[in-house]
A and B are shown apart, each in its own frame.
Chain A
Amino acid sequence: MDWLFFGEISLAGLAMGGLYALIALGFVIIYKATRVINFAIGEIMMFAAYLFLAFAGGMEMSPWVAVPLAVLGGALLGGVIEKTMIRPMLGESPIAVVMVTIGIASILVGLVELIWTADPQLLPSFLPRQPVFIGELYLAPKIAYGFLIGMAVLVIYLLYFRFSRGGVALRATASDQAAAYSMGINVRRVFNLAWVFGSLAASVAGILVAATGGLSPQFGIIGLSVLVVVIVGGLDSILGALVAGVFIGWLETVAGAYLGGEYRMPATFAVLAVILVFKPYGLFGTHEIERV
């Protein structure tokens, strides 16, 4: 066994896992606050990545402007989706709401194909290019810097939830909706903000992931891996999303490198199956999940 190769692959996998964790965090924020399983999270991040392509590629904006604009676009998209399509479903069965998010996902794919065609595209590169070595291990700079940016965003989110007043409102709403109303918390607004900030986190990750591997209308499939991540972690657990994100990212990359790209997904699903047998609510989950 070539330990150097294994080490480099693992490192890249862990870094990708960090970005998965960020997407998963976006998913979990929405789920915790609103109890909606958002199947469109992968497509929202795809949309943000295409926005970046349009701003930085087509319009030739500087990445310093294009990245924030694209991220804001993704966040706004999340907010609009919540307000126009999810909120009217309040009180409907969870399955119905899930179907709506699946519908939104395919609308977004169609929209993207319409505007940017179905062909794969490369994002203009915007991350530093000097190679990164950790000890003797080489790490592709795109992955390394993507990881760092992703982690910075993630840490900001965690600090916000833990220490800010808004974080308290979000956690209170997640813990007991009726009681949150009775405190004077505007729960509908919390729902909307959860979608905005969940989509924002996913958008950041989307642009960073697309920067390493390119972009196509199928890019949103990553959302499926992320779903595995959050189910493994326990749908409503932020810690679970982080740990599982890193783990699944590592597993996919290692499986892809040793067994071939077509084994990435089967490997993650095999792990999912095994974990659900032993821990039906995921590694860190607490609440019972609606059986689909």
Chain B
Amino acid sequence: MDAVLEIENIEVVYNKTVQVLRGLSLTVPRGAIVALLGSNGAGKSTTLKSVSGLLALEDGEVTAGDIRFKGQSLKNRPPEKLVREGLFHVMEGRRVFEDLTVEENLVAATYALSGREDARSRGYELVYDYFPRLRERRRQLAGYLSGGEQQMLALGRALIARPELIMLDEPSLGLAPLLVEEIFEIVARINREQGTAILLVEQNAAVSLAIASYGYIMENGKIVIDGPAEKLTANEDVREFYLGVGGQDGEARSYREIKHYKRRKRWLS
């Protein structure tokens, strides 16, 4: 068994009333980059929060299914323990500590190393090597960084934690295309050089599938299509509805609608 993360048929309910995930499953092999794609409100962030345990802070609950990290079930484990075991969640919107300096943000991330044997070396230099711009701004308040720099800092904090799996929630959010490419290149480098597996949540399917080896597409709380990245990139429906190539009217429609549409066609013929 060489999966670092296995999600099996989970269902998630918020406030004991709103069901958001309906039997979602996915697997991240060790050292791989896996993309989880889907449109607004599909439940991507909810999936990541279920894994990292941050769901409980929002009164959400995994009501069915199982999540395993390195083969062990994650039920009822407090979030900070998971981080210390090597599972790092970079939340949507970067969430840097704005009134802390850049370096203090990195110091905060060293708590991920608590109780580990290799906790001595803190690895700030490694972060500054990947992100030289952060080195220049190390004494500056994180709140004054640009959006791109904040995303770098969020990735830097993940690097400090030396995790086995980084879950990245929409790193491209609100960034200019050039910067998105720069960030994704670094994500790919981190994966290659540090051997860290990455679960990449994105709406931007094109750049994600370019660096991922496998992709899942989710809608309405479950996976609707998955496959190796090249296959997904070549898949016509994916091309039309997620990559914005081909298609008749260029209107964004969901995968579910395609199915309806096909079904309707079948009936008609």
Q: B-contacting residues of A (Cβ < 8 Å)?
A: 91, 165, 168-169, 171-172, 175-188
A188 to B56, CA, bound (A): 14
A185 to B223, CA, bound (A): 32
Q: Is the CB of A184 within 8 A of B109?
A: yes
A168 to B57, CA, bound (A): 21
Binds A, one of B21-29, B95-103, B174-182, B243-251: B95-103
Q: A91-B59, A176-B95, A178-B57 are contacts. A183–B104 as well, Cβ < 8 Å?
A: no
Q: Is the CB of A183 within 8 A of B109?
A: yes
Binds A, one of B32-40, B61-69, B82-90, B256-264: B82-90
Q: A165-B110, A169-B111 are contacts. A182–B89 as well, Cβ < 8 Å?
A: yes
Q: How far is the CB of A184 from chain B (nearest CB, A)?
A: 3
For residue A183, which residues in chain B have a CB less than 8 angstroms away from its CB? 83, 108-109, 111-112, 157, 161
For residue B108, which residues in chain A have a CB less than 8 angstroms away from its CB? 168-169, 172, 180, 183, 185
Q: How far is the CB of B83 from chain A (nearest CB, A)?
A: 4
Q: Is the CB of A184 within 8 A of B83?
A: yes
Residue B114 lies at the interface, judged by CB distance under 8 Å to chain A: yes
Q: A165-B107, A180-B108 are contacts. A186–B97 as well, Cβ < 8 Å?
A: no
Q: Is the CB of A181 within 8 A of B57?
A: yes
A181 to B90, CA, bound (A): 11
The 10 A-B residue pairs with the shortest CB-CB distance, nearest first, are A184-B112, A184-B83, A179-B95, A172-B108, A184-B111, A181-B79, A185-B111, A175-B97, A168-B107, A183-B108
For residue B59, which residues in chain A have a CB less than 8 angstroms away from its CB? 91
A148 to B111, CA, bound (A): 35
Residue B8 lies at the interface, judged by CB distance under 8 Å to chain A: no
Residue B203 lies at the interface, judged by CB distance under 8 Å to chain A: no
Q: A171-B97, A176-B95 are contacts. A182–B104 as well, Cβ < 8 Å?
A: no
Q: How far is the CB of A192 from chain B (nearest CB, A)?
A: 14
Q: Is the CB of A168 within 8 A of B104?
A: yes
Q: A171-B104, A185-B80 are contacts. A178–B109 as well, Cβ < 8 Å?
A: no
For residue A182, which residues in chain B have a CB less than 8 angstroms away from its CB? 52, 54, 79, 83, 88-91, 95
Q: How many A-B residue pairs have CB under 8 A?
A: 75
For residue B112, which residues in chain A have a CB less than 8 angstroms away from its CB? 183-184
Q: How far is the CB of B172 from chain A (nearest CB, A)?
A: 19
Among B54, B99, B111, the most chain A Cβ lie within 10 Å of the Cβ of B111
Q: How far is the CB of B162 from chain A (nearest CB, A)?
A: 11
For residue B127, which residues in chain A have a CB less than 8 angstroms away from its CB? none
Residue B4 lies at the interface, judged by CB distance under 8 Å to chain A: no
| Residue on A nearest B53 in the bound complex, by CB | A181
Residue B20 lies at the interface, judged by CB distance under 8 Å to chain A: no
For residue A169, which residues in chain B have a CB less than 8 angstroms away from its CB? 108, 111
Among B90, B100, B108, the most chain A Cβ lie within 10 Å of the Cβ of B108
| Residue on B nearest A182 in the bound complex, by CB | B89
For residue A178, which residues in chain B have a CB less than 8 angstroms away from its CB? 54, 57, 91, 95
A169 to B105, CA, bound (A): 9
Residue B205 lies at the interface, judged by CB distance under 8 Å to chain A: no
A169 to B54, CA, bound (A): 18
Residue B229 lies at the interface, judged by CB distance under 8 Å to chain A: no
Residue B134 lies at the interface, judged by CB distance under 8 Å to chain A: no
For residue B54, which residues in chain A have a CB less than 8 angstroms away from its CB? 178, 181-182
| Residue on B nearest A189 in the bound complex, by CB | B80
For residue B57, which residues in chain A have a CB less than 8 angstroms away from its CB? 177-178, 181
A165 to B100, CA, bound (A): 12
Among B79, B90, B114, B161, the most chain A Cβ lie within 10 Å of the Cβ of B79
For residue B84, which residues in chain A have a CB less than 8 angstroms away from its CB? 184
| Residue on B nearest A179 in the bound complex, by CB | B95
Q: Among A91, A179, A184, A187, which residue has its beta carbon within 8 angstroms of that of B97?
A: A179
A183 to B100, CA, bound (A): 14
| Residue on B nearest A187 in the bound complex, by CB | B80
B residues 2-35 in Cβ contact with A at 8 Å: none
For residue A180, which residues in chain B have a CB less than 8 angstroms away from its CB? 97, 108
